[in-house]
């Protein structure tokens, strides 16, 4: 039996951003030795791991050298070198999610085609190799405005996704391989985090409901549990579970879904790692998503995903037109509000819409939590005053 705690076992994490940072809260809680690699010397994970390595996550040699020193390797971002992961697996390193799973997800075109092949409900789509093909298809009336455009590779935090409404917008899209999707007139945007360990044991978290910022394509409020019937919530969890099984995913899988106006649950996209939509679990679930991810990849039993009480989460993003050393204005007002816990990711520089932190609001009544969350958003500004 592997001795994970206070031992010579090493967990490697590719990526040193806030998701990795929050994984480190759990590895510190359990005294698990961790190595982290990131390309930035100011990465949030820089302290609290046992060894921090500067390196390019997309570089074959960097990932290979890093991975050879650990027993289990996981990720906090999908944009990593897959060939190195394949080689590491051959050499006996346990990689979760596996490179074969990651390959099905990393490229959004491949991901959509996987749903189609496995009869997982998702919006109609086509995949194009370049902008010319996209424009040609538009000429040929394969699809019409408005529609959703997604870059196949490299999208993150709302980047690489556009709702295209006009010919002008269509003309100014980047020239990249992309996915063209129908724009679904949805009722609500949802997410379900699925945890699945190395033994195939799986659990789902409460369904969360997402309210989005109108233009930045970033989520504003995440409410858990989602305000919906138990029947619909169950349906969403079942679809999410099916997706996780189909991918043979090990670790967390954040499944973003739409509830359509006709009451259908369809899959938007997934991320095989801890996710923004799961941060509520830190204050509000029996087992937070970060501890859960570690249970999964270490082959430990899953923790209970029951929710303790309602929670609303808001993101802290850099205010428009502010860049430089960050100042969290209004923090004292925020801290005086009941049930409010801010999380500061440790990025010293702010810029427009940069994800700098989040705030969790817990309350026994979700309406109250939502109301306090609005006050939180009014009270705090992430600016630069230098």
Candidates 239, 314, 362, 376: give the one binding a second copy (CB under 8 A).
362
Candidates 53, 163, 216, 331: give the one binding a second copy (CB under 8 A).
331
Quickly count: other Cβ atoms within 10 Å of residue 42's Cβ. 11
Q: Does 355 bind a second copy (CB under 8 A)?
A: no
Biggest CA-to-CA distance, the chain: 63
Beta carbon of residue 358, minimum distance to a second copy (angstroms, whole number): 11
Helix (H) or strand (E) holding 293: helix 289-297
- Alpha carbons 363 and 380: distance in angstroms, whole number: 20
Candidates 49, 72, 164, 359: give the one binding a second copy (CB under 8 A).
49
Beta carbon of residue 25, minimum distance to a second copy (angstroms, whole number): 6
Q: Does 199 bind a second copy (CB under 8 A)?
A: no
The CA distances from residue 146 to 168, 190, 231, in Å, are 12, 22, 32
Beta carbon of residue 283, minimum distance to a second copy (angstroms, whole number): 8
Stretch 300-319 residues interacting with a second copy (CB under 8 A): 300-301, 303-304, 306, 308-309
- Nearest alpha-carbon partner for 105 in 72, 82, 74: 82
Q: Does 365 bind a second copy (CB under 8 A)?
A: no
Query: Near a second copy by CB under 8 A, which window of 43-51, 67-75, 204-212, 243-251?
Result: 43-51
Using CB under 8 A as the binding criterion, the count of chain residues that bind a second copy stands at: 46
Query: 301: burial class by Cβ within 10 Å (0-12, 13-18, 19+)?
Result: exposed
Q: Does 21 bind a second copy (CB under 8 A)?
A: yes
- Alpha carbons 330 and 306: distance in angstroms, whole number: 33
Q: Output the six-digit token pair for 320.
A: 């428009």
- Alpha carbons 259 and 348: distance in angstroms, whole number: 38
Candidates 54, 61, 130, 286: give the one binding a second copy (CB under 8 A).
286
- Alpha carbons 250 and 262: distance in angstroms, whole number: 32
Cβ proximity to a second copy: between 50 and 218 the closer is: 50
Beta carbon of residue 177, minimum distance to a second copy (angstroms, whole number): 37
Candidates 198, 341, 371, 375: give the one binding a second copy (CB under 8 A).
341
Q: Does 346 bind a second copy (CB under 8 A)?
A: yes
Evaluate whether 33 touches 8 at the Cβ level (below 8 Å).
yes
Write out the DSSP string of 230-257: HHHHHHHHHHHHHHHHHTT--EEEEEEE
- Binding residues (CB under 8 A) for a second copy: these are 1, 3-6, 21, 24-25, 28-31, 47-50, 286-287, 291, 295, 300-301, 303-304, 306, 308-309, 326-328, 331-332, 335-336, 338-348, 362
């Amino acid at each position: 039996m592997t001795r994970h705690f206070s031992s010579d076992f090493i967990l490697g994490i590719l990526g040193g951003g806030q998701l990795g940072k929050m994984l480190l809260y759990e590895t510190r809680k359990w005294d698990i030795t961790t190595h982290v690699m990131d390309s930035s010397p100011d990465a949030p994970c820089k302290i609290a791991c046992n060894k921090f390595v500067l390196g390019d996550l997309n570089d074959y040699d960097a990932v290979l050298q890093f991975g050879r020193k650990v027993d289990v390797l996981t990720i906090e971002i999908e944009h990593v070198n897959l060939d190195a992961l394949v080689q590491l697996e051959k050499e006996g390193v346990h990689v979760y999610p596996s490179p074969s799973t990651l390959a099905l997800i990393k490229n959004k075109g491949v991901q959509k085609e996987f749903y189609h092949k496995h009869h997982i409900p998702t919006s109609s789509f086509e995949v194009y190799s370049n902008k010319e093909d996209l424009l040609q298809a538009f000429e040929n009336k394969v699809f019409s405005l408005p529609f959703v455009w997604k870059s196949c590779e490299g999208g993150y935090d709302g980047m690489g996704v556009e709702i295209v409404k006009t010919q002008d917008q269509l003309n100014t899209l980047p020239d990249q391989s992309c996915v063209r999707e129908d724009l679904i007139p949805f009722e609500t945007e949802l997410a379900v985090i699925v945890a699945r360990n190395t033994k195939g044991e799986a659990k789902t978290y409460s369904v969360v409901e997402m309210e989005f910022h109108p233009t930045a394509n970033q989520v504003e409020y995440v409410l858990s549990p989602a305000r919906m019937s138990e029947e619909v919530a169950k349906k969403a969890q079942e679809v999410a579970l099916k997706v996780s099984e189909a991918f043979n995913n090990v670790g967390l899988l954040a499944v973003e879904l739409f509830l359509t106006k006709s009451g259908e649950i369809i899959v938007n996209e997934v991320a095989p790692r801890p996710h923004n939509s799961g941060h509520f679990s830190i204050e509000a679930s029996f087992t937070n998503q970060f501890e859960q991810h570690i249970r999964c990849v270490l082959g430990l039993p899953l923790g209970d995903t029951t929710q303790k009480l309602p929670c609303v989460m808001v993101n802290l993003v850099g205010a428009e037109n502010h860049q430089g050393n960050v100042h969290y204005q209004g923090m004292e007002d925020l801290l005086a509000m009941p049930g409010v816990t801010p999380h500061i990711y440790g990025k010293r520089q702010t810029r427009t819409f940069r994800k700098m932190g989040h705030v969790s609001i817990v309350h026994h009544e979700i309406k109250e939590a939502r109301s306090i969350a609005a006050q939180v958003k009014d009270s705090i500004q992430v600016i630069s005053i230098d």
